[in-house]
Amino acid sequence: MRIAHLASEVVPFSKTGGLADVAGALPIAQAALGHDVTVIVPGHRASLADALPGRVCFEVKALGLTATVREVSQRGARVLLLDCPPLYVRPALYTLPEGDFPDNAVRFVFFVRAALAAFARTGPCDIVHAHDWQAALAPVLLAHDPATRTALPSARTVLTIHNLAYQGTFAPWVLDPCGLPRAWFTTELLEFYSQVNLLKAGLATADAITTVSPTYAREILTPAFGCGLEGVLGGRSSVITGILNGLDTTEWDPAHDINLTTPYNARGVAAGKRAARAELAREHGVAASERPLLGMVSRLAEQKGADVVFAALDDLLALGFDLVVLGTGERRYEDALRGAAAAHPNRVYTFARFDERLAHQIYAASDFFLMPSRYEPCGLGQMISMRYGSLPIVHSTGGLADTVTDAAEPDGTGIVFAPLTPAAFTAALARARATFDDVHRLAQVRASAMARDFSWQASAQRYLALYQTIRERQAPREDTPGLEQEA
**Per residue of the chain (487 residues), what is the pLDDT tens digit?**
999 999 999 999 999 888 998 999 999 999 999 999 999 999 999 999 998 999 999 999 999 999 999 999 999 999 999 999 999 999 999 998 788 999 999 999 999 999 999 999 998 899 999 999 999 999 999 999 999 999 999 999 999 999 999 999 999 999 999 999 999 999 999 999 999 999 999 999 999 999 999 999 999 999 999 999 999 999 999 999 999 999 888 889 999 999 999 999 999 999 999 999 999 999 999 988 999 999 999 989 999 999 999 999 999 999 999 999 999 889 899 999 999 999 999 999 999 988 989 999 999 999 999 999 999 999 989 999 999 999 999 999 999 999 999 999 999 999 999 999 999 999 999 999 999 999 999 999 999 999 999 999 999 999 999 999 999 985 544 444 333 333 2
> Which pLDDT score is estimated for 133?
98
Strand segments (E) across 207-313: 208-211, 240-242, 293-297
Q: Are 38 and 122 in contact (CB under 8 A)?
A: yes
Pairing of strands 127-131, 169-170: unpaired
Percent helix, strand and coil across the chain, each to the nearest 5: 40, 20, 35
> Which pLDDT score is estimated for 74?
92
- Indicate the residue type of 29: A
> Which pLDDT score is estimated for 16?
85
> Which pLDDT score is estimated for 421?
96
Domains of the chain: 2-246+457-486 (3.40.50.2000), 266-451 (3.40.50.2000)
Looking at 259-377, list the stretches that DSSP marks H as alpha helix, in order from N- to C-terminal side: 269-284, 306-311, 313-318, 331-343, 356-365
> Which pLDDT score is estimated for 185?
98
Which residues are CB-neighbours of 217 under 8 A, at least 6 positions away? 210, 211, 240, 241, 242
> Which pLDDT score is estimated for 17?
80
**How many Å apart are CA 144 and CA 157, to the nearest integer?**
13
Q: What is the largest CA-CA distance in the chain?
A: 66
